[in-house]
Amino acid sequence: MDVTLVVDALSPQLSGIGRYTWELCRRVPDQPAVGRVGFFYNGAFVEDPASLLRNRSRRRRKRLPRWLRRRLVQRRLRSDLVHGPNYFLPAEAETGVITIHDLSVFRYPETHPPARVRAFERQFESSVGRATHIITDSETIRREIIADLGLRASTITAIGLGVGCEYRRRRFEEIEPALAPLGLKPGEYALCVSTLEPRKKIAELLRAWRELPQSLRNSTPLVLAGAKGWLNDQLHDEISKAASEGWLKHLGFVPEAQLLPLYGGARLFAYPSIYEGFGLPPIEAMASGVPVLVSDRSCLPEVCGDAAAYVNPDDQTAFTWTIHQCLVDEQWRREAVARGLDRAAGFTWDRCVSETVAVYARGSAQ
């Protein structure tokens, strides 16, 4: 079958959905059941989706009258199996498959830019109505969609995401040169990779970290990496104060090449988000051989299984105590590393893509 992938999520600063879209672009063309693959970006086909990772604005459009270009696009989208990996189908597509990663725009609209909320108001219902099948990243979200949207269970499939082989356990001497410019030493810091928005519970993480014994807080500073998101003034003040006290380092967005050693050198990975569609960072940390602490909410228990420690991020006393134990309990740490490596090994992009193409086949038959 011929496939069109909608690649609007690709940009130089890849989000989790962008990573998912990119892995589809890389691997779907190699699937035996797939013929020609097209890549649809912002109303037009692009020849090389990798160009969007270098410069979002560089794309090649055919020099044709708009009416003719639109007609050609409509013809192609109506003949191909169209997959919208980022919630939406193009207006020109009569049917297709969509991936709904989570329902946060409805459950936590304050954590999204107004433009994104408006886009959902315009496009989401139409895309769901035209979708022959829906993919989710976890069974947790699949059940939410069935309950909240009233859709038939048979039309929704949960397919877990993957972690690349570049996320692996590394020797400290291998990553020391990459960490030195950041003022970090392997095994002597904790890491959180997350956008800064309310549902990620970064403020609660900072408050819990502040309550650690001073010696432990100073010997194991917390490193924050990730896009700015909705950085409110109060959180900004807390980050600035913690950084001035020496126990927090805020790096902002970190390219993957620098993120790999950053994962590998962490003593603990903390991810207290209370709502996720899958939660790639904890699995990436596990694959890197790092003990993981996550929230006990949403899909994180489903995804992380018995390989992580769990905490209620709204219980500051318990949060601080759990962080302390994760940093000092060597037996738990050894067991968590072993369980995490086993857990992460079950999440591969090859499996994700092969199961996704199987959904394409069912969707194209309907």
Q: What is the pLDDT of residues 137-188, one digit of tens each?
A: 999 999 999 999 999 999 999 999 999 999 999 999 999 999 999 999 999 9
What is the residue-wise DSSP string for 144-173?
Answer: HHHHHH---GGGEEE------TTS----HH
Using 50, 70 and 90 to split pLDDT, how confident is the model at 69?
low
Residue 19 has pLDDT above 70, yes or no: yes
Q: Which helix (H) or strand (E) holds 345?
A: helix 330-345
- How distant is the alpha carbon of residue 4 from its chain centre? 22
Picking from 200, 349, 358, the residue whose alpha carbon sits closest to that of residue 279 is 200
Quote the mean pLDDT of the chain.
92
Q: What integer pLDDT is reported at residue 66 of this predicted model?
A: 64
Q: What is the pLDDT of residue 142?
A: 98
Gap between the Cα atoms of 111 and 126, Å rounded: 23
Residue that wins the pLDDT comparison between 113 and 200: 200
231 pLDDT more than 70: no
Say if residue 59's pLDDT is above 90: no
CA dihedral 350, 354, 359, 365 (to 10 degrees): 150
Please report the pLDDT score of residue 362 as a whole number.
85
* Neighbouring C-alpha atoms within 13 Å toward the C-beta of 13: 9
Which pLDDT band holds residue 97 (cuts at 50, 70, 90)?
very high
- Indicate whether 105 pLDDT > 80: yes
| pLDDT for residue 296 | 97
Is residue 297 predicted with pLDDT exceeding 60? Answer: yes
Rounded to the nearest 10°, the torsion over CA 253, 256, 260, 265 is -10
DSSP for 251-308, please give it.
Answer: EES--HHHHHHHHHT-SEEEE--S--SS-HHHHHHHHTT--EEEESSTTHHHHHGGGS
- Angle at alpha carbon of residue 138, lines to 126 and 41, rounded to 5°: 45
Please give, one letter per residue, the 3-state secondary structure of 39-52: EEECCEEECCCHHH
> Does residue 366 have a pLDDT over 80?
no
Choice among 6-10, 140-144, 175-179, 253-257 with the minimum mean pLDDT:
253-257
Q: What is the pLDDT of residue 228?
A: 78
pTM for this entry:
0.92
pLDDT given at position 160: 98
User: What is d(CA 32, CA 357) in angstroms, rounded to the nearest whole number?
Assistant: 10
Instruction: Please report the domains of the chain, with CATH numbers, ordered by start residue.
Output: 3-162+349-365 (3.40.50.2000), 172-345 (3.40.50.2000)
pLDDT at 321: 98
Q: Average pLDDT, stretch 297-323?
A: 97
Structure confidence at residue 256 (pLDDT): 86
Of the pLDDT bands very low, low, confident and very high (cuts 50, 70, 90), residue 67 is low
For residue 75, is pLDDT > 60? yes
Q: How many CB atoms lie within 10 A of CB 137?
A: 26
Q: What pLDDT was estimated at residue 15?
A: 84
For residues 296 and 13, give the distance between their C-alpha atoms in angstroms, rounded to a whole number. 28
What's the mean pLDDT in 19-37?
97
Structure tokens at 68: 């003719």
Q: Find out whether 25 and 39 touch, Cβ atoms under 8 Å.
A: yes
Whether residue 63 has pLDDT greater than 70: no
Residue/partner pairs of 254-257 with CB below 8 Å, 24 or more apart: 254/193, 254/225, 254/226, 256/14, 256/166
Contact in structure between 243 and 250 (CB atoms under 8 Å) = yes
